Chain A
Amino acid sequence: MQTDGYRDHPVRSYVLTGGRAHPTRNTLRPETLLCTVDDGRRLPASAGRHQRALLETCRGTLALAELAAYLRLPVSLVVVMASDLIDEGYLAIRSNPVHDLPAADLLEEVLDGLREF
């Protein structure tokens, strides 16, 4: 089933992403909303096909988990790729991460929305 071998060799995902550590990574969650920055800037020629595919897929708002599903890559790998692209200004975070529990006013809005169904 698996011809792309990175899942068998965790080290490879590190290599794929340049092996850098970035603080942005800690703020990215599966539900974090992302959107490609549309400023006409092109990725450098050295960028990988996964990076290009990510920016192409995210030309409208999507959560990180959705990106991973469309790209058929593990969430953990997309976190690393996305944080690099954010730090380089190609990708932007649309939503603020919710830590601990979501605030009461946000929950109330969710409830109001659910009741409309």
Chain B
Amino acid sequence: MASASSEATGPGPAPAHLAPSVARSVKILVVGAFGVGKTTLIGAVSEIPMLSTEETITTASVGVDRARDTKSTTTVAMDFGRVTVGRDIALYLFGTPGQRRFWDLWAGLADGAVGVLVLVDTRHLEESFEVLDQLEEHTRLPLTVVVNEFEGAPRHAPEDVRSALDLPEGTPVVSGDLRERPRAVEALTTLVEHALRRQTEGSAAA
């Protein structure tokens, strides 16, 4: 795993190059509150060890400390993985925290994405509101909500999750233990099917 280090040219893992046949790439964003399972999902499908980069973002402390109106910079880690699909397509999965203060980071990521997997922990549903608000406010990307079934978490029917989160019409909801690769692959498949459906419907939904 490539972790942050001070020496840019120091020895790290050998690069895992793509097969020479791969000449196209697509990406899916994996967002959600802290600890909701983003890294777990990406790791379950990635063909390479998880990689991460750090970006410096400027955060305006909106509403928190109006009197001082400060701006500060923070370092945010972005995890990602990769899986080759078919003969010549590289699918990248970028995981970022979804809260509003990180919007600058994923704004740059959202352009050209297939869609977004929104990870949800039903024990802390309210933490997902801000993430969904940000997505609706800033993008028109197709979403799929993934309910991570942590042990001891209450189980809810997809319909209940959909109404509790007030999801846009037609947004798929899947659930499962994301440590299992088939569940993670199912989440991706569901999102891509949804994205395709939206396209062939002539992007009717505004």
Chain A interface residues toward B at CB < 8 A: 1-4, 7, 10, 29-33, 49-50, 53, 57-63, 65-66, 68-76, 94-104, 106-117
Residues in A neighbouring B91, C-beta threshold 8 A: 110, 113-114
Number of interface residues of B (CB under 8 A): 59
Given A62-B15, A73-B8, also A114-B56 (CB < 8 A) = no
Contacting pair A107 B199 (CB below 8 A): yes
Residues in A neighbouring B108, C-beta threshold 8 A: 29-30, 75
Residue of B nearest to A96 (CB): B24
Q: Could you tell me the distance between the alpha carbons of A100 and B22 in the complex, rounded to whole angstroms?
A: 21
Contacting pair B8 A106 (CB below 8 A): no
Cβ distance A77 to chain B, nearest Cβ, rounded Å: 10
Residue of A nearest to B26 (CB): A102
B163 CB within 8 Å of chain A: no
Residue of B nearest to A59 (CB): B17
B13 interface neighbour in A59, A70, A99, Cβ under 8 Å: A70
Residues in A neighbouring B23, C-beta threshold 8 A: 33, 61, 94-95
B51 CB within 8 Å of chain A: yes
Contacting pair A69 B52 (CB below 8 A): yes
Residues in A neighbouring B141, C-beta threshold 8 A: 101
Q: Could you tell me the distance between the alpha carbons of A10 and B75 in the complex, rounded to whole angstroms?
A: 13
C-beta contact mask, B1-41 vs A, less than 8 Å → 1, else 0?
A: 01011111110110111111011111100000000000000
Residues in A neighbouring B94, C-beta threshold 8 A: 30, 65
